Structures are given as structure tokens and as C-alpha cells.
Amino acid sequence: MKPIYFYLILSLILLQSCDYFTFKKEVPPQVVARVNDNYLHKDDLMAIFTKGISKQDSVALVKNYINNWIKQQLLLSKAQLNLENKADEFEDLVKQYREDLFINSYKEAVVKQYLDTIITQDDIDQFYLNNNEIFKLNEELIKVKYIKIGKEDSNKKELLKLFKSTNNKDLEWLKEKALFMKSHHLNDSVWIKYSDLIIEIPVLKSEDKQQLLKKDNFIQKEDSLSLYLVAIKQVLQSNEIAPKSYITPAIRQMILHQRKLLLLRNIEETLIKDATKKQQFEIY
């Protein structure tokens, strides 16, 4: 590959036809573009190149970058002219943003270094025990298995027999045939939302929910193309407490959030104590 400076010089020559600007006859060698009193220098372009870039891509990249820079500067100039009366307000916002950026970046670094992210099963159990009232369900949860197959599937009778069986070997054999199903969910030991079941099997929308959501209920439905087999093993109604196994991921996030808040509060308190001892601040 030729040196990147060769591509840069070539790019700058080609850019003389750019619609957005024209070069003056006498331009400092390190300047590649100007908008009013603002200049774009050759060094500013070096960061945009990636290793192994082709000559054609480098030309297009430079042209696109300079055009965007010019448009940005022109828009900024126009905005500053028309919004001059808001300059002080914007400066205050910039100052506030800069301060927040420093503070939040520092907090993130502290949290990354000192936050205890190890959450034991005891932590989860204790949090669930102390706060289970906040985990009331806003919709039904079910343990269910279902399959969706073609209405004219040649294995329909065999699949129906395997699906209804309580024998573990039959269930394993049913899983082996999953590739021939349109869709399936065969793990009835995990909780899923009732609404997710309806999304997967829309034909159930026409069923009475109270009749449908019964423990150990078996449903066999058809539409014009498919056969649906559904076996509901267990149901939790809306407003019941969510099972711990279902809510564990949320509990982990809540524990981490609590620890983060406590860590930051302790850091702030320590900061105030140290500053007080060193007489770094006064309140008048």
C-alpha cells in the first residue's frame, strides 16, 4: 500500500471541484478548507483513516469529511448569528454539561473499581423475602409446552401421542423431531407470559381465557394451515407474587443498583468529611 500521505495529497487535488467551496490561490500548506475564520487542517484529517484503506476509499472519505465539516461550520455560523441573544444561556448549559461529564465519568470509574458485583443465592433469597410485595404480576404467567405442525403432517398421530405422554423418553423423542415442527416450546419447567403464548399461537385469542388458563389443561386447535397442541402445566394469575425463579434477573439488577447508590453515597460522605477536616470549603 502506498503511504497514506500520498492518498491525502491526491484527495486534496481532487477536492478542488467540490460544490461547497473553492480554494483561494494562496492557501497555507497545512490548511485544507476554510469557512469564514475557521480552518480545517491536514492534521485534522489523519484520525479519519483506518489501516488498509484503499486509494479510492481514502479519496471518498476525505471528500465526505470535508463536505460535512463545511456544512457543520456554515450551520454553526448561521445559528450563532441568529441566536446571539441565547449565547449566555448556551454557555451556561455547556458549562453545566462539562461539569456533569467530569462528575459522572468519575462516578462511573469509582463504581467500576469498587462495586461488589458478586451476588449470591442468599442475597437473592433475602431480597425476595424482604421485597416480594413489589413483585406482584401484572399479567398471567404459565408453565406450558406447545408445538405447531402442518395440518397435513404425515407424523401428526405420532407427534400427538408423544406430546400427550408423560414419559421422559417420549419427551426426548419429541425433542428429536423438533426440526420438523413450525414452532415449539417443550420446556414446561420455566415460566413464560401468557401474552407470549398468544403471540406464538394467535388462534388461542378466540378462546375464553379463564377456561384456557387451567392447570393441566390440554388444548388442540387447528386453522387452515396448522395444528396446535398446547399443554398448560401451571398458572399464576395477575396480582399474585411472581416466582423467584422468574424474577431473579430483575432482583440481581435491583441489588446492584442499591449497592451502587450506597457506594456513591458513602463516597460523597467521605468526600465531605475529608474536605471539612482540610478546611477546603466554607459556607457563608
- Span 150-202, pLDDT tens digits: 888 888 888 899 999 988 898 999 898 888 899 999 999 999 999 999 999 99
Whether 269 is covered by a domain: the verdict is: no
Whether 64 is covered by a domain: the verdict is: yes
Cβ proximity of 268 and 181 under 8 Å: no
Per-residue pLDDT band for 115 (boundaries 50, 70, 90) equals very high
Give the strand pairing for 141-150 and 226-236.
antiparallel
CATH number, domain at 229? 3.10.50
Residue 104: predicted pLDDT: 94
Q: What is the tally of structural domains in the chain?
A: 3
The 3-state secondary structure of 28-79 reads CCCEEEEECCEEEEHHHHHHHCCCCCCHHHHHHHHHHHHHHHHHHHHHHHHH
Of all helices (H) and strands (E), which one includes residue 214?
A: none
Within this chain, do residues 62 and 97 fall inside the same structural domain, yes or no?
no
Burial of 206 (0-12, 13-18, 19+ CB in 10 A): exposed
Could you identify the residue written with the cell 404467567? 141
Whether 249 is covered by a domain: the verdict is: no
Within this chain, do residues 57 and 25 fall inside the same structural domain, yes or no?
yes
Handedness of CA 112, 113, 114, 116 (dihedral sign): positive
Residue 122's closest CA among 257, 259, 255, 240?
255
User: For 205-230, how does the pLDDT look when each residue is reduced to its tens digit (9 = 90+)?
Assistant: 988 888 889 888 999 998 888 999 99
Within this chain, do residues 168 and 211 fall inside the same structural domain, yes or no?
yes
Residue 53: predicted pLDDT: 74
Global confidence as pTM: 0.68
Across 41-50, 87-96, 121-130, least confident range: 41-50
pLDDT more than 70, % of the chain: 89
Whether 241 is covered by a domain: the verdict is: no
Measured torsion, CA atoms of residues 265, 271, 274, 275, in degrees rounded to the nearest 10: -130
Whether 256 is covered by a domain: the verdict is: no
Whether 90 is covered by a domain: the verdict is: yes
How many Cβ atoms are within 10 Å of 170's Cβ, its own excluded?
Answer: 14
Residue 238: predicted pLDDT: 92
DSSP-based three-state secondary structure for 109: helix
Within this chain, do residues 103 and 173 fall inside the same structural domain, yes or no?
no
Within this chain, do residues 18 and 58 fall inside the same structural domain, yes or no?
yes
Whether 125 is covered by a domain: the verdict is: no
Asked if pLDDT for residue 2 goes beyond 70, the answer is no
Q: What is the average pLDDT score of the chain? A: 86
Please give the residue range of the domain that contains residue 103: 85-114
Cβ proximity of 219 and 230 under 8 Å: yes
Whether 95 is covered by a domain: the verdict is: yes
Cα 165 to Cα 49: distance, rounded to the nearest angstrom: 63
Of 236, 251, 275, the residue at which a domain comes to its end is: 236
Of 193, 218, 236, the residue at which a domain comes to its end is: 236
